A and B are shown apart, each in its own frame.
Chain A
Amino acid sequence: MFKLNLKIALRNLWKNKTSSFINVIGLAIGLAACLMLLLYVSYEWNFDKQAKNWKNVYMAMTNVPGEGNKIAGTFNGSTTALGPLLKQNLPEVKYVARMDYGKKSLIANGQNSYKKDSKFAEPDILKMYDYQFISGDPKTALQNPLSVILTESTAKTLFGTVDVLSKSVRYQDKENLTITGVVKDLPENSSNRFDFLMPWSFYEIVDPSAKELNWNNYSFVTMVSLNPDANIDLVNRKVEALVKANTPQTPQSQPHFLYQTSKLHLFGKFENGKPAGGDIEQIWLFMGLAFGILLIACINFMNMATAKSEKRAKEVGIKKTIGANRTSLIFQFLTESMVLTLVAVVMAIALLEICLPAFNGLLNINLGISYFNTASWIGILGIVIATGLIAGSYPAFYLSSFNPIQTLKRNIKSRGILTVSLRQVLVIGQFCFAIILIISTLVIYRQIQYIKNKPVGFDVNALVEIPQDGELKTKFDLFKTEMLKSGAVTSMYQSSVSLSHRGRNFMDMKWDGMTNPQNTVMFNQVATSYDFIKTNGIKLLQGRDFSKNFASDTSAVMVSASAVKVFGYKNPIGKKVIVFGSNAHIVGVFDDYVWDSPYKSNNPQVVYLTTGQTGVITMRLNNSNNLQSNIETINKITKAFNPAYPTEITFINSLYQEKYKSEKTLGILSNLFGGLAIFVSCLGLFGLVAYSAEQRTKEFGVRKVLGASVANLMQLLSLSFIKMIVAAIIVAVPISYFAMGKWLNNFEFHTEISWWIIPVAALGTLSMALITVSFQAYKTAKANPVDALKYE
């Protein structure tokens, strides 16, 4: 029976080429979208879950108190003192490892030097992550301060081989480290990646301040591995009590809690100290999009199958009279939809292979189908079965319910209003989804344009920055003189952070006339040298830039306009503020500029003058030379100062481009999915019109003989479909208006939904549908009436 059903299903597929094509293509696109998403979701979902006991690995989080007992922010930094305290006093704690955040640092094998991602960590880190050692002993690898663990690819770039145990590499052109281990490259979906890992004991040599257990510097990460049976709520209560008992309590004290490390990636947003979603929302969105497209394709299948019912009804009738029961008929129809889905999934996998590289490039990840993994096949099979069932069940139940005598008498016309309207409802639903996607795409595009066109507060062009490494830290003044002399740059300064930066926020700030005894407003700090404003071109509202002519400028600050607003100073110049407990006077007020997110207003900023805090050198290129010669000159001079380091010149405007990345990705994805949704919907519409035309061939022949024009007939055939699209527009517009309004409200700076977006989306969809319908309608209307009437 099954074999025969299968054979008939294949014959049916072959015979009805148009509808098979529409169904297979539609389903293949839907399935490809779905599979792609499944890959993406499993990639994101398995973030930081590679280690055997990932469930027990926690990260210490810090709550930052804000105004009125609220918690202003939560971040994953902690102090050097926290880790040892937890280890000594909490019985549930198995391992503790303090780490730094990691940065790019120089590692060299002789002349062969590269800047790679480095990290410092305590040895227990190796017990939390199951790094696979190619060589070396995980027990002793981080014992000696002057040791280093390389990843496989780092070893290969430096030495050309992984057989490098006990060889030595040079760190930051300062210390020689012995290689004590080589590990396999770390998975990409890990938030704790490095190219080489060094012991914490070495960090205490590099930065002696890390040796003392302090409660002020939150620049470190504390990883904690708990016993598997530990109750995290209980542990967190203990952590809070422990920290309270061991530190002096002020309103600015920052309480800690432990948070599962693997959750940080998708559930990393906190509101008032409580987890409040995060990137998981984006995952839901992508999931909705892909399943939406798959559903559209399934609806196509259902619509085509029920539209064909007149043809199939006869078959159902005959089979019933020769002894088929309903179950066997349902099975037959489901077999057909399964066969179709199987064909589609093969195409989908091919499609996926073609599109994955582009998709990977778009999201900057590396996904691939693992063909030898049972789980992925089970996943694919699951989707196929689910799709086949969803697409096939309605037609199967609908068709198999036909009464034999009605079908044999060709009496199917009396299908009843209900089933016909269900088909219409499905088509309207499809187009609703498509229109919502189009409107969303347009709004997202407008929002990105709006933010892009919003001035960042200074001229980002012709500005470059280089990291302040090695000799550049100590010989900055000489470097500056040489640079200016070369004529490649017109001015430059050093600062603790780049113009575009995150973090470095603080609250230890006092000013005259404060209402609260303690400040609760977050300020941002930038430590810089002379020529700050001159170089970056930020608008100076009052006062002046730091100047060598004023010796007192060592205790001077420049503040942003929003900082002045917080202070409440009418004439801020010369007024006193206390930053980190030391007195300073305001010499200049500059306009707020975008340094963090371009979507919201950034914290008030304080800029002070110090030579101690190095980080980045920002330069304004000399416009009278060409770009290339400027860059070459910078390269040459930097190399002369810092022969061990490769020079990395970054253009500030590319840094600002980065800021739009996530919304841009969202825009591209919704564009892509919106396009696909429209395409698949139109495919379905085409199929429906084709069938409707086929059914009405005779009627059209008669009408033509009676004198109907081509236009009359086209109108006749198109009108009912166009009505459905109009209905879809009416439903979709308010939904998308509401949803996108809500989305826009997520951004402090946002555009309004322009009036023209809705007619553009509506007319666009309508004309797409019209083209689809009229193509078929024209073909039918032009046909020779004799051909049509010869049928009977």
Chain B
Amino acid sequence: MIQLNNIEKYYANKGVKSYILRHVTTTIKQGEFVSIMGPSGAGKSTLLNIIGMLEEPTYGTYEFLGEDVTTLNERKRIELYRNHIGFVFQAYHLIDEMTVYENIEAPLLYKKIGSSERASRIADLLDRFNIVAKKDLFPNQLSGGQQQLVGIARALAAQPSIILADEPTGNLQSAQADEIMNLFKKLNQEDGITIIQVTHSEKNATYGNRILHIADGVVKDDVKVIV
């Protein structure tokens, strides 16, 4: 599903190149649950952003679903966001002015899905994540864990084939973190959704089935998780 070839990313500052990523080559198949790990500043988030097409690599090629997406115009990229990619952020990034219900509805509106279909999908998600009672609340009225649940529900609303999560539990207490990670695992196993997460925590990484270790912009290790 994802094919990265020799990806490099650097910033040139006064003629000095500071590398973030070097020679990253990897393949991620449909249905995998990949955790990207490494120390701070290793380039984990940059890699995830490149996979999410939020950043462009300075060098190398990137194929998504067999299509070269290394440089993509905005319209095509948004098309991919609408249909294939869901984002989950460490800081949740819910829209403060919208209620829980509206936050989940937003991607469906952009995808121009009919109102009855929309209502049923949202009802389904609210039900599944046990947040029906919270649907008319605003994000700042929810706890962190609840906010992240809404964030994931929003990412799932458009029925993406892949979820990109940047430290999804970084701001959460461990009990809530476990809940979120179990949810991811379930989504991966039962719905077959590809998940790529960036994480600091060894424990969180074990929920997945593959770990990419990154240090100083280079993939040091690519291991399968054996349960």
A and B are interacting partners: yes
CA distance A7 to B89 in the complex (A): 25
Q: Is the CB of B93 within 8 A of A323?
A: no
Checking B74, B93, B102, B158 against A326 with a beta-carbon cut-off of 8 angstroms, the contacting residue is B74
Neighbouring B residues of A69 by C-beta, 8 Å = none
Q: Is the CB of B95 within 8 A of A325?
A: no
Q: Scan B108-131; emit 1 where CB is below 8 A from any A CB, else 0.
A: 011100000000000000000000
CA distance A317 to B92 in the complex (A): 12
Q: From known contacts A15-B97, A314-B93, infer whether A322 and B102 are also in contact, taking CB-CB under 8 Å.
A: no
Least CB separation from B93: chain A residue: A318
CB distance from B70 to the nearest CB of A (A): 16
Question: Is B78's beta carbon under 8 Å from chain A?
Answer: yes
Q: Is the CB of A322 within 8 A of B97?
A: no
CB distance from A701 to the nearest CB of B (A): 22
Neighbouring A residues of B102 by C-beta, 8 Å = 4, 7-8
Q: From known contacts A318-B95, A322-B87, A408-B93, infer whether A328 and B110 are also in contact, taking CB-CB under 8 Å.
A: yes
Q: For B52, B54, B155, B158, which residue has the most chain A Cβ atoms within 10 angstroms?
A: B54
Checking A11, A15, A323, A404 against B54 with a beta-carbon cut-off of 8 angstroms, the contacting residue is A404
Question: Is B69's beta carbon under 8 Å from chain A?
Answer: no
Q: From known contacts A4-B105, A405-B54, A405-B55, infer whether A321 and B87 are also in contact, taking CB-CB under 8 Å.
A: yes
CA distance A4 to B107 in the complex (A): 12
Checking B49, B96, B158 against A323 with a beta-carbon cut-off of 8 angstroms, the contacting residue is B158
Q: Is the CB of A319 within 8 A of B95?
A: yes
Question: Is B82's beta carbon under 8 Å from chain A?
Answer: yes
Question: Is B75's beta carbon under 8 Å from chain A?
Answer: yes
Neighbouring A residues of B107 by C-beta, 8 Å = 322-323
Q: From known contacts A1-B109, A4-B102, A323-B107, infer whether A315 and B78 are also in contact, taking CB-CB under 8 Å.
A: no
Least CB separation from A3: chain B residue: B109
Neighbouring B residues of A321 by C-beta, 8 Å = 52, 54, 81, 87
Q: Scan A397-430; emit 1 where CB is below 8 A from any B CB, else 0.
A: 0000000110010000000000000000000000
Within 8 A of A (CB), among B81-106: 81-82, 86-87, 89, 93-98, 102, 105-106
Question: Is B154's beta carbon under 8 Å from chain A?
Answer: yes
Question: Is A324's beta carbon under 8 Å from chain B?
Answer: yes
Least CB separation from B96: chain A residue: A315
Q: For B97, B105, B158, which residue has the most chain A Cβ atoms within 10 angstroms?
A: B97
Neighbouring A residues of B78 by C-beta, 8 Å = 320, 323-325
Neighbouring A residues of B52 by C-beta, 8 Å = 321
Checking A315, A323, A404 against B110 with a beta-carbon cut-off of 8 angstroms, the contacting residue is A323
CB distance from A412 to the nearest CB of B (A): 15
Question: Is A12's beta carbon under 8 Å from chain B?
Answer: yes
Q: Is the CB of A323 within 8 A of B97?
A: no
CA distance A174 to B157 in the complex (A): 94
Interface size bucket, A side? 20 to 34
Neighbouring A residues of B98 by C-beta, 8 Å = 4, 8
Q: Scan B128-166; emit 1 where CB is below 8 A from any A CB, else 0.
A: 000000000000000000000000001100100000000
CB distance from A305 to the nearest CB of B (A): 15
CA distance A324 to B107 in the complex (A): 8
Neighbouring A residues of B155 by C-beta, 8 Å = 322
At the interface, is chain A mostly helix, strand, loop or mixed? helix
Q: Scan A7-23; emit 1 where CB is below 8 A from any B CB, else 0.
A: 11001100100000000
Least CB separation from A2: chain B residue: B109
Q: For A317, A319, A408, which residue has the most chain B Cβ atoms within 10 angstroms?
A: A408
Within 8 A of B (CB), among A436-487: none
Q: Is the CB of A315 within 8 A of B87?
A: no
CA distance A1 to B95 in the complex (A): 15
CA distance A317 to B95 in the complex (A): 10
CB distance from B106 to the nearest CB of A (A): 6
Neighbouring A residues of B89 by C-beta, 8 Å = 408
CB distance from A9 to the nearest CB of B (A): 9
Q: Is the CB of B54 within 8 A of A324?
A: no
Q: For B74, B106, B158, which residue has the most chain A Cβ atoms within 10 angstroms?
A: B106
Q: From known contacts A4-B105, A315-B95, A408-B93, infer whether A322 and B110 are also in contact, taking CB-CB under 8 Å.
A: yes
Q: Is the CB of B49 within 8 A of A405?
A: yes
Least CB separation from A315: chain B residue: B95
Neighbouring B residues of A325 by C-beta, 8 Å = 74-75, 78, 110
Neighbouring B residues of A318 by C-beta, 8 Å = 93-95
Neighbouring B residues of A1 by C-beta, 8 Å = 109-110
CA distance A404 to B81 in the complex (A): 12
Q: Is the CB of B97 within 8 A of A8?
A: yes
Neighbouring A residues of B75 by C-beta, 8 Å = 325
Neighbouring A residues of B93 by C-beta, 8 Å = 314, 317-318, 408
CB distance from A333 to the nearest CB of B (A): 13
Q: From known contacts A12-B97, A325-B74, infer whether A319 and B106 are also in contact, taking CB-CB under 8 Å.
A: yes
CA distance A1 to B111 in the complex (A): 11
Neighbouring B residues of A323 by C-beta, 8 Å = 78, 81-82, 107, 110-111, 158
Neighbouring A residues of B54 by C-beta, 8 Å = 321, 404-405, 408
Q: Is the CB of A320 within 8 A of B95?
A: no
CA distance A324 to B89 in the complex (A): 17
Neighbouring A residues of B109 by C-beta, 8 Å = 1, 4
CA distance A322 to B87 in the complex (A): 7
Q: Scan A289-319; emit 1 where CB is below 8 A from any B CB, else 0.
A: 0000000000000000000000000110111
Q: Rank and list the top 9 A-B pairs by shortest CB-CB distance, nearest first.
A: A323-B82, A405-B54, A323-B110, A322-B107, A323-B81, A321-B87, A325-B78, A318-B93, A8-B97
19 contacts between A and B (CB under 8 A): A1-B110, A4-B98, A7-B102, A8-B98, A314-B93, A315-B97, A317-B93, A318-B95, A319-B95, A321-B52, A321-B54, A322-B87, A322-B155, A323-B78, A323-B107, A323-B110, A325-B78, A404-B54, A405-B55
Q: A320-B78, A324-B110, A408-B93 are in contact. List 13 more A-B contacts (CB 8 A).
A: A4-B98, A4-B102, A8-B102, A315-B96, A318-B94, A318-B95, A321-B81, A322-B107, A322-B158, A325-B75, A325-B78, A328-B110, A404-B54
